[in-house]
Amino acid sequence: MAREQLGICTEANLHGSYLLLNAYEGHESVLRYKLARIPQLIDRLAAHFSESMLTAVVAIGSNYWDLLYPDVRPAGLKSFPDLTLDDIGLSPVPIDLLIQVRSDRLDVNVIACQQILQVLQGHTELQDQLQGFRYLDGRDLSGFINAPYNPGGRHKRQVALVDSAQQPVFAAGSYVYFQQLCFDQMLWQQLSLTEQEEVMGYDKVSAKPLSNTLMLPDSHLASTQQSGSTVLMQNMPFYQPKRQGLIQLSYAAKAEYLADALFRRLGVSEQLTATDALLSYYRIELSAAFFAPSLSFLELSAKG
């Protein structure tokens, strides 16, 4: 039975670190072995720092997959959509590797990232390293609870992991969309509480949906609540002196679920034609598509 990467369906943590890497050409055979070592490395650190709840996810970019694993490809794995919209740029970027590290101790995250980069040294180039954090018990910088519609408990695995009956080779893997969004906090703070709640579609304190009479068709909740049954979100705010916003990871058992959720927010789906009002306060700096294979797939591929 295929074993999933534990970081996909883990509970929320206090700290998230994200490594975006590009691989050197011709290093594919070595990287197949190296990538299989990373979950083992994380397991050792998690045992040593047992209170940290350390997990990780290794994901391979859609554009790099065929070079790394030329014999087989997940059904539906495609590059991040590159749509041309009037006011919104998706900024798709071909990133070869994404490694997500999460725990309840920032120092453990730092140690894990250092050791991962040591393993991959000489075979990859680090493009960026992002740091997220848990803010006010699961809220983003808007002050609202982030993704209150997110699946929980056992339902996470059903939503996020590929079914073995549909794709046996990729069972327990997951399709991933990664986005970095910068938040215009000054513009957001000019809104009254009532106006903010109208944009979000739910109460700021309790996250209860607004009544049907108050719910706007372009509210964030109206644009995203249907995705709660098909997409698992793992979002974390990030903060830097000159920019701040949201690191957004979406996991799904089928690639089309991720695309559908994106198109609904952009107002280009058959069901919704209104753009998510919250996107007026965010600028998308980076978008990329990945697949996170099972631990079993990584180990078997390393053995050839």
The amino acid occupying position 40 is: Q
What whole-number distance in Å separates Cα of residue 7 and Cα of residue 21? 19
- Each residue's pLDDT, cut to its tens digit, for the chain (304 residues) gives 899 999 999 999 999 999 999 999 999 999 999 999 999 999 999 999 999 999 999 999 999 999 999 999 999 999 999 987 778 899 999 999 999 999 999 999 999 999 999 999 999 999 999 999 999 999 999 999 999 999 998 899 999 999 999 999 999 999 999 999 999 999 999 999 999 999 999 999 999 999 988 999 999 999 998 877 899 999 999 999 889 999 999 999 999 999 999 999 999 877 777 899 999 999 999 999 999 999 999 999 998 7
What is the DSSP code (8-state) at residue 139?
B
The beta strands (E) that lie in 75-224 are given as 97-103, 124-133, 174-183
How far is C-alpha 266 from the geometric centre of its chain's CA atoms? Answer: 18
Pairing of strands 97-103, 55-61: antiparallel
What is the DSSP code (8-state) at residue 146?
S
Q: Which helix (H) or strand (E) holds 221?
A: helix 220-224
Predicted confidence at residue 229, as pLDDT, reads 87
Predicted confidence at residue 186, as pLDDT, reads 96
DSSP for 16-38 reads EEEEEEEEPTT-HHHHHHHHHHH
What whole-number distance in Å separates Cα of residue 63 and Cα of residue 236? 25
Of 197, 186, 204, nearest to 220 by C-alpha is 197
| Termini Cα distance of the chain | 19
Tokens of 212: 């049907």
What whole-number distance in Å separates Cα of residue 260 and Cα of residue 230? 10
In three-state secondary structure terms, 210 is: coil
